[in-house]
Chains A and B, each alone.
Chain A
């Protein structure tokens, strides 16, 4: 009953939940266990209210302290690259940023990685004082003839579209289908290609989305030892079993634990940067040298478009290409710093943290509070406690969140435990940015399995959260917004 009413609250997803009503006997029992908690609980699932995006100073965006003078200098030198705006032509001396397209989502890293500072998450909407969805300033630049897909809204998150299946709706696809093309741009010659048919994909229910992930602190995450991740996986097994929590690592091509991205499908910042450079901006690099669309007339630069500069007289001659620069920039970005407790009463967040970590609610069983990094060649990143609130594993999240995309070991319903550091300053939650209400984001962790996918591993935790007294619920939510 709880689930059903929550579905009604969420409108469009009611049908999906109704299909699951049959096996909901357990949930009905859970509702009975909850007892007479009051109709308000049943209507929303929670009595807590999201205090909203934490204001004040951005608790992120600076470089980590303790860099050597030389490292800091390199960091300063490469900072502009993350914000550079790429056009189509790539000059032979790489003197101006080029390589955009033939297909692209945006023209700069920083356009989408923006909140609360460069390197962060999807920008705030205008209603919250932010710039809104940045793609509205990008898609028709220089005469490009793109139309804006209906799922992108000025006040919503930046969304990258993926097709779970090819047009036969059977063969797995799983790749990003870029929103826009360079067709019509004055710097794109005679390139003439159409945008993907998102209307058709939507009508076929073959369209899923992912929003940008903040990169603050990723320099710590990428060096956390595999052994620590696996030891944490194998810790508290009794508690996890009682709550239905398991989790599994996604594995990189060298056999180590992959850890970045919504499905932990990327191993390191430099690989992530190279993947995204081609996927999001269409800029080829030495990692991914070819254009993703090679329609005649649309491959307008020699490949790859970002590459080693071999000429020592042209600075900066030091690096193979932009992905390496982006990686250094992100690596040096400090982890987010928690802010004041919303409402101004610190004891609320202190108690919220206790509730979050309690074995009863069990959020911390997946959102592992911290790992300690090993010694690093970057001293400033070595032997540091990374308070990321993630186990870096992927978990079953149920058919309600499933995107039907398999990436490595992560199946269609499995997602990485999203790190929560910095969550207090994020505007949109969950992989597809479906809500800007952090309480709703918690509730969306609750999902009953179906014939295709098992229950969400978070079901017992969310049920326990909903059973907390109102004050404890609110304290927990306040705690999250303090991060």
Chain B
């Protein structure tokens, strides 16, 4: 119910009825357009009268809201007994709450938090609709007494972009303080300064109020065990399929590349190759826990007295007497196993009930061209994990990055993904997500669709989705609503 309230709130803020809200959306777009009037004027004339009429009419669909229930969170079926046996241990690693040092007499291996951190456990942010998921409806950084950022005496303040009803977001500075030199890295929200288990540590929070900051929200990991083994050749074959349709709609897309030359596929910009590397990165970035992949504290540069543990803080267990499955090199490997074994989200009932039109919605999804980027499925190759082999992964993504226009650009370049390019987010599980787009700017999936539309400027080209959004807006009300219902069914 609270989720429905959240949904209703946004709806009522926008407008009481769908048509008006559609106009509101256009009005919002108009707010942006005057900054680049020449490009807009040219583009509008190019769009032609038909689509201009569609712009005026706007979309008429309503977001049915977050689909209830838990359609994700279980291990995939078909694991061997030995594989399934690691569920308890690896889940424990994913939900463990880390502290800075072992000075407070807690469990000795739960150390390493900070000096900078965004949260203190994986599952605090990967929570919706189950452990491993996306940002919960209530921002976990704002709950608890004390909240995460003030536990054990920490003296942090909450940056203004974190709100109780908003998504949990991390912060990046596109540029260094000179406003020119590219930065692009995450600047952790909080410091362990003041915590009783961080004696002597001095580290200020980043100057979020004075620095240009962009945000990214949490991505769910369900089904990522399938995504990480999809063959590069299949991704490229899909990129090169339907070229005439793509050309007609202005869609191209390209892969981001990993250090071995293979196709990267995780993260908002497809900047990460595999779950274990993601685990290693996120452990150091989000929680400040150094590990064998990323052995040093990021904040050893700008802190004093904050290097409180030997490095890396998470490491191989060399104790030969300890029984399995405790012999993994470290937490990122166990986190990776947990994520790898999480089943993809399950499709639910159509939000409109019987006759809700989801089959027609998928037809419209395909017809207007959504599917040209949000590729319905890939098939995994034969895998060392039999349960992940030769499966159809209905992820609704091409795993490529696309230009999304200046309205969506975050000015952060990662690999071959430039400041306006983002990976096509997989849509499986979209029906149970609360927040949409890279920065979680909206809870309304209709707005999220509309936000794909953006005219280019001198810096960035048009969003590759523009023609598709025009097609969507030109659909009749039933087809639009069916398409939205289909998305919320996922």
Contact = CB atoms under 8 A, between A and B. Distances in A.
A41 interface: no
Given A227-B300, A304-B229, A311 B82 contact: yes
Contacts of B232: 290, 292, 294
Given A268-B292, A303-B384, A279 B261 contact: yes
A269 B329 CA distance: 13
Interface stretch (A136-144, A151-159, A281-289, A341-349): A281-289
A295 B231 CA distance: 11
A320 B329 contact: yes
Contact of A254 (B275, B294, B383): B294
A289 B310 contact: no
Given A256-B284, A270-B292, A377-B311, A288 B382 contact: no
Nearest to B308: A375
Contacts of A290: 229-232, 262-263, 381
Nearest to A67: B318
Contacts of B475: none
A125 interface: no
B259 A266 contact: yes
Nearest to A407: B259
Contacts of A327: 292
Contacts of A176: 261
A21 B273 CA distance: 45
B276 A292 contact: no
B158 to A, nearest CB: 22
A287 B294 CA distance: 14
Contacts of A225: 296-297, 300, 307
Contacts of A224: 296
Contact of A222 (B234, B295, B327): B295
Contacts, number: 183
A226 interface: yes
A256 B328 CA distance: 24
A267 B298 CA distance: 12
Contact of A320 (B310, B328, B382): B328
Nearest to A229: B301
Interface string B310-338: 11110110111001110111000100110
A278 B260 contact: yes
A267 B385 CA distance: 28
Interface in A70-87: 70-71, 73-74
B258 interface: yes
Contact of A70 (B85, B257, B320, B324): B320
A167 interface: no
B185 interface: yes
Contact of A303 (B229, B258, B318): B229
Given A256-B284, A375-B311, A382-B310, A287 B273 contact: yes
A253 B271 contact: yes
A453 interface: no
B285 A255 contact: yes
Contacts of B230: 290
Contacts of A267: 293-295
Given A289-B228, A305-B384, A310-B325, A278 B277 contact: no
A265 interface: yes
Given A318-B324, A376-B311, A310 B85 contact: yes
Contacts of A278: 260, 262
Contacts of B284: 254, 256
A307 interface: yes
B281 to A, nearest CB: 5
Contact of B324 (A266, A312, A377): A312
Given A73-B320, A320-B276, A320-B329, A303 B382 contact: yes
Contact of A288 (B273, B315, B329): B273
A252 interface: yes
Given A252-B294, A255-B298, A256-B298, A308 B229 contact: no
7 contacts: A251-B185, A271-B259, A279-B261, A287-B276, A288-B258, A324-B316, A374-B310
Interface of B: 80, 82-83, 85-86, 185-186, 228-234, 257-263, 271-277, 280-281, 284-285, 292-298, 300-301, 307, 309-313, 315-316, 318-320, 323-325, 327-329, 333, 336-337, 381-385, 389
Minimum-distance CB pairs A-B, first 9: A318-B327, A255-B185, A294-B233, A175-B261, A310-B82, A375-B310, A312-B324, A302-B382, A227-B300
